Each structure stands twice: as C-alpha cells, then as structure tokens.
Amino acid sequence: MSSRWIWRLLAIPGLVWLAVFFVVAFYAIISVGFGNVTTLYEPVPHWNPLDWNVGYIWQAITNVLPGGDTWDTFLRTIIYVVVAVILSLAIGYPVAWYAARHAGRWRGLILVLLVLPFWISYLMRMFAWTNLLAEHGYATRLLHALSIDTLFQKIGLLDGTDWLGGQHIAVIMALVYGYVPYLILPLFAALDRIDQRHIEAARDLGASPAGAFWRVVVPLSKTGMLAGIVLIALPMFGDYYTPDLISGSPKTAILGNAINGYVQGGPDKSLGAALTLLMSAFLLVFMIYYLRVVRADQREMAQHA
Amino acid sequence: MSTTAPSVQAPAVPRTATWRERISNPWGRPRFLAITTWLYILWSLLPVLLAIRFAFNSGRSRTSLQGWSLRWFWEDPTLSVFNDPTLQQALKHSIELALIVMVVAMPLGTALALGMRRWIGPGSGVANIVLLLPLVTPELVFAVGMFLLFTTAFGFIGLGTTAQAIGQVTFTLSWVVLIIRGRLATIGKDVEEAAADLGAPPMHVVGRVLLPLLVPAMAASLLVAFALSIDDFVVSQYLASGADTTTVPMRIYSQARGGPTPALNALATIMLLVSLLALVLAYVVFRALTRGEQSDRGSAFKQLATDLG
C-alpha cells in the first residue's frame, strides 16, 4: 500500500482553503479592478481575463501620478513610512542590541517586556494615546511642560496646539509606537545569533569599538534588519486606522485611507480595487524579498536540526 | 586626596573610564544602551497602563485620574460594560470569533503542516509560497479581497460572522503551519522512520507517533490563533455585516474619537485580561505537556517561545 496518499490527504483541506479564500479572494480584487459597475455603482467583477476593462486601472494609475488625485496621498505615504522606519530603527536597534548582548540578569525580564505589546490589541495601544494626547491629557501636559509643543511649533512640526488634529508628527510617532515591537524581535534574533568571538577578533585585530560595530555587527545583522524593516513597512502601507484614530484629518491621509474610503465609504469600489492592485504590485518586491529571507532561514534551521 | 584615591578603588577598576569608552566598549557596561532600553520599555507600556488606570476612574474623564471605582465595569446602570448592550455584545462576539477560529485553524494547519512535509514533487514549491504569502500581505489588501469575494461570487456566504471567521482562519492558518513545522523540524524524521520500520502503517505513524509529539506545538498554535483573532481589526471590520458582528477592536475604532466614557477603557482592559489569561493558561498547559522532555526550569517557556517563532 502506498503511504503517499495519506500525506496528500492531510494537506488537501488546508490547501483548498488557501486556494479558495486567499488566491481566489486576490483574484476577486483583480476581477473587480478590471471589471465594471452597474447603474447603481455596484461593482461587477469580470472573472474572464478576455473581458477585462482597463478603465479603472488606468484611472488609478493617472491618479497616483504627479498631478493626479491620489498623488499627494501616495507621496505622503512614502514619506511617513520612510521616516517611521528610520525612527523605528533608531529606537529599535539600541534596544535589541542591549537585550541581546548586555542585559545580563535582566535579560529574561526585558524580553518579556519587549514581547508584551504583542499581547495588547493594536487598537487599544492607539486608543491609549488618544487618551494621553487629548486636550488635557497627560502627554499633552508633559509636552507643554517641557516646552516641546512651542519648540515644534517654531520649527513647523506642530500646527496649532491640538496633537490629535491632523499633525504629521503625531501620526508618524503613532506608527513608530505601533510597529516598533515587530522590528525589535527579528533584530534581537539576528543580534543574538552573532558570535561574540567575531567582535572580539575584530577588536584584537585592531578595530576600534565603533569600527568593530560598523564592520562586523552591522553587516552580520543586515539580513535580520532588512527583514524587520520589511515586516513593519508592509503593514504600514496597509494601515488606515492609525491616521484615523490619531488625526482623522484628510491632511494626514495615506494610501490605506484612500483605499478604505473607496471600498467601504463610497460608490467607487472598483477604483478602490484598482488602487489596491497598484499598491500590491508596488509592495510585491518587498514581499518577495521577505519570503526569500524567511525561506533561506528555514533551510538553515533545517540543516542545523 | 589624590594619593588616597587609588587605594580606595577596587583593583578591577584601575581608573574611571571616560564616557566615550563607556559607550563604545563592547565589554563594558553600556549605560547609554541600558537607559535607552528602559526608556523605550516605559514609553511602550506606560500609555497602556494609564489607559487601564482610567478604566477605574470614578469620574467620566479619560485624561486625568479621578479616584477609584468599578463604575465603568458594572456599577454604572447604563454606561458600564456590563450594562451597555453594545459593549457587552462586542466582547461576546470577539471571544466567540476567537474560539471558532482557534478550533478550525489548529486542526487544519496541523494537517497541512504534516502533509506538506512529505509532499515533494510538482506543485509543492507553489503551495509553499501560497502558504507564506498571507504572512506578508498587508491586511488591508487581504480584507479588500475577501470583502469583494463575499459580496460578489460568494454572495451565498455573504458578510457576517461566518465571513469574519473564514477571513481570520485564512491568515491564522499560515502561523499554525509555521509553528507545527518548527516543531516537526526538531522532532526529526528518525522517529517516524523507526515506527515505519517496525511495521506501523502510515495512519499509526501519524496518530500514535507524530500527533502525541506535536501536542505542545498544537497548544501553542491554539494560543496564537486565539491571540491573532482577538487582535484582528481590519478583516473583522471589512467582513462585518452590522451591529451584532462588531468586535472589541471595531468598537474601540468607532468610539475612540467620539467622546467615549471610561467604559471603553474598561472594555479594552477586559480584553487585555482575556488575552493575558489565555497566555498564562497556554504556558501552564505547555509546561505540563513538555515536563517529560526537559527537566530544567524555564525551558518550557523557551520551548514555547521557539515554537511561537
């Protein structure tokens, strides 16, 4: 009796599930994006590629090009994500480095505290900031007591006094706050794996501490760092709830808000689907990169096992 | 004074290091890093702790401390979580969804991980990519796809609890597979091969050899499925059909900017307690299950941590 069928049989339900609800669902976006609408603006998907209508895709493309409706939003999204990722690295790298290398007897506790945000709902963490950044909130008062609000007003980072009223800086900091835990963990794993002897060897061979760090530690942690960056950048592109909760103003709307507005709000579901497709195409590069890193990692783990 | 100083100093520290050496010496005690780390931890947790504290306010404010009370949990006759039907409904629906997702995703994912391991041949590469893609797809893309699917071709399912559960199971599945697969890699193929050599048919290899060894990983994946479902916002929102399919994160989203009372803080606090309780429960179960394998204390936690990826 062939033992093969039993393994196939085990895999089939899960694979069918993924095929139907993941692959076909993605195809539904394509079909609607290349589809048409009824007279009531309800989307009519065109499942057959031969019937595809490129009108909405074309509209979405011209919208994200300079001068189009979504161009500002697109540009803002890129700026927010880039700034938020850089700030996340600036915060996350020292923290991951300390936890992996120097925490000593505090290591266990620090790790638990670094993982704790994963167990707190993202929406609750954002909601917590709406309490603190409200007009008489503690964060508002603290920032005022430290004169940070007047400083930010002077250098143009804060417009008015309402932190929750469409401030770029508030939304970017909220993104950092929301996603930095997801960067720290892969960074920690990468830094934890570095053999201390490599650093010692570099120092013995005459490298300065900074030289050893830049030329040994950073290159050795590069894969983990890039994987972490992709891991936080991807959900930031699909985020719309953070700007909604922290600002709610069209001044801070990003691509996620645009898509959400089209698909859930108005009569332009087909345009929303087309915009989703454009964004997915743009993000595909990062997704493939991340999958390759993960697979290489799995292979390495399998070899060690 | 300068002559007595060296004798007072401990021999291990011949002189005080300059601040430059302190921050750059890889063997020294990096104070700058320690301060950064603790400040970060404070920044990451204090807002949530304050949000929890406001839930116990006796006044209506969510921005300053106003004494202690359980008013917003159940004492208030109309506005508390216990007495406001919309809040209670959200709590119930969140937990109900999480239980469904847990129960469906775990067996489905375990079977998939077991099956994929022995499936070498055409299609296995593609299957692997499809399996990993949900992990990196932005939730919004995924939610838009599901929403369009359930409102067009799969109109017979429609939006609502079923659609929400299907959506959450779909992205949870990949996590379950990763966890089970990690455990399978540590078990190795020797055990199954030994069982097969001794004449066990494949059914028994799975049922009597592999599954018992996988129980801790299955417990871990139940926990992860529960946590992912509880935390999910985008998929639940896109696939919701009305007030009775509102989850806790959706309630927070819709009320956070609309002058909520501390009852919303209380609701979030209860939700946090539920997920921490699940974590503790999973840890206890996990420790009991892995007791035979490792004897040293704390290893169960490490094993759980590795199983969780």
- B110 pLDDT exceeds 80? yes
Q: How many CB pairs under 8 A join A and B?
A: 286
**Nearest-CA distance from A25 to chain B in Å?**
5
Domain limits for position B297: 86-307
Same domain, residue pair A192 and A77: yes
Same domain, A148 and A179: yes
Please name the residues between 150 and 179 in chain A that touch chain B, using a CB distance below 8 Å. Answer: 164, 177
Regarding whether A131 and A17 lie in a shared domain, the answer is: no
Q: Decide: A243 and A126 in contact? Cβ < 8 Å.
A: no
Contact A280 B109 (CB under 8 A): no
Cβ contact (<8 Å) for B24 and A177?
Answer: no
Specify if B163 maps to a domain. yes
Report whether B250 contacts B267 (CB < 8 A). no
Of the partner residues B132, B201, B227, the one whose CB lies closest to the CB of residue A119? B227
* Three-class SS state of A137: coil
CATH code: domain of residue B197: 1.10.3720.10
Q: Do A82 and A177 lie in a common domain?
A: yes
Beta carbons of A11 and B131 less than 8 Å apart: no
Q: Are both A90 and A20 inside the same structural domain?
A: no
Which tens digits make up the pLDDT trace of B221-249? 999 999 999 999 999 999 999 888 999 99
Check B268 against A121: CB less than 8 A apart. yes
Token pair belonging to A160: 């008015």
- Are residues A89 and A183 in contact, defined by beta-carbon separation less than 8 angstroms? yes
Question: Is residue B7, in this structure, part of any structural domain at all?
Answer: no
Task: Answer whether residue A67 is part of any domain.
Answer: no
Could you tell me if residue B59 is inside a domain? Answer: no
At B293, the pLDDT band (50, 70, 90 cuts) reads low
Length of chain B: 309
- Are A129 and B47 in contact (CB < 8 Å)? yes
Shared domain for A99 and A46, answered yes or no, is no
Contact A253, B103 (CB under 8 A): no
Q: Are A137 and A231 in a shared domain?
A: yes
Q: Are residues A88 and A226 in the same domain?
A: yes
Where does residue A167 fall: left (phi above 0), alpha (psi -120 to 50 degrees), or beta otherwise? beta
Q: What is the pLDDT of residues A66-100, one digit of tens each?
A: 888 889 999 999 999 999 999 999 999 999 999 99
Cβ of A113 within 8 Å of Cβ of B45? The answer is yes
Cβ-based neighbour number of residue B301 at 10 Å:
15
Q: Among A96-100, B116-120, B250-254, which is the least confidently predicted range?
A: B116-120
Query: In 3-state terms, what secondary structure has residue B124?
Result: helix
Residue A92 lies in a domain: yes
Gap from A255 CA to chain B (nearest CA, Å): 10
Residue B244 covered by a domain: yes
Three-state DSSP string of B233-279? CHHHHHHCCCHHHCCHHHHHHHHCCCCCCHHHHHHHHHHHHHHHHHH
Residue B46 domain flag: no
Say if residue B14's pLDDT is above 70.
no
Which chain B residue has the Cα nearest residue A247? Answer: B257
Note whether A85 and A175 are within 8 A (CB): no
Residue A15 lies inside a defined structural domain of this protein: yes
A286 and A209, same domain (yes or no) = yes
Q: Is A207 on the interface with B (CB under 8 A)?
A: no
**For chain B, what is the domain count?**
1
Determine contact: A194 vs chain B, CB below 8 A.
no
Please name the residue of chain B whose CA is at the shortest distance from the CA of residue A240.
B140
* Tokens standing for residue B233: 């916002």
Is the pLDDT score of B111 beyond 90? yes
Mean pLDDT per block of 10 residues along chain A (305 residues) reads 72 91 92 82 80 83 85 93 96 93 87 91 93 88 89 86 88 96 92 87 86 87 88 92 91 92 84 91 87 74 59
Q: What angle do CA B308, B140, B176 make, to 5 degrees?
A: 20
Distance between CA atoms of residues B118 and A293, nearest Å:
23
Q: Are residues A158 and A115 in the same domain?
A: yes
CA distances from residue A93 to A27, A86, A192 in whole angstroms, order as listed: 39, 10, 12
Contact B139 A235 (CB under 8 A): yes
Q: Is B70 helix (H, G, I), strand (E, B) or coil?
A: coil
Q: Is A163 inside any structural domain? A: yes
Distances (CA, A) of A98 to A52, A184, A221, B29, B32: 54, 11, 14, 10, 9
Between A6 and B5, residue with greater pLDDT:
A6
Cβ of A234 within 8 Å of Cβ of B201? The answer is no
Q: In a 3-state reduction of DSSP, which class is residue A44?
A: strand
Is residue B7 pLDDT above 50, yes or no? Answer: no
Range of the structural domain that residue A1 is part of: 1-53
Q: What is the pLDDT of residue B305?
A: 55
Q: Which burial class, exposed, middle or buried, applies to B69 when counting CB atoms under 10 A from its CB (0-12, 13-18, 19+)?
A: middle
Q: Are A241 and A174 in contact (CB under 8 A)?
A: no
- Quick one: average pLDDT of B28-33? 73
Residue B218 lies in a domain: yes
Residue B1 pLDDT class (50, 70, 90 cuts) = very low
Residues sharing a CB contact under 8 Å with residue B2, sequence separation 6 or more, in sequence order: none
Tell whether A98 and A184 lie within a shared domain: yes
- Global pTM exceeds 0.90: no
A47 and A169: one domain? Answer: no
| Contact status of A17 with chain B (Cβ, < 8 Å) | yes
Counted domains in chain A: 2
- Cβ-based contacts of A305 with chain B (< 8 Å): 185-186, 188
The answer to whether the CB of A232 falls within 8 A of the CB of B228 is: no
CATH of the domain at A144: 1.10.3720.10
- A156: distance to nearest CA of chain B, Å? 24
| Strand residues in chain A grouped as ranges (E) | 36-37, 43-44
Minimum distance, in Å, between the CA of residue B201 and any CA atom of chain A: 8
Of B147, B202, B230, the CB nearest to A263: B147
The one-letter amino acid at A147: S
Backbone angles phi, psi at A37, to 5 degrees: -130, 155
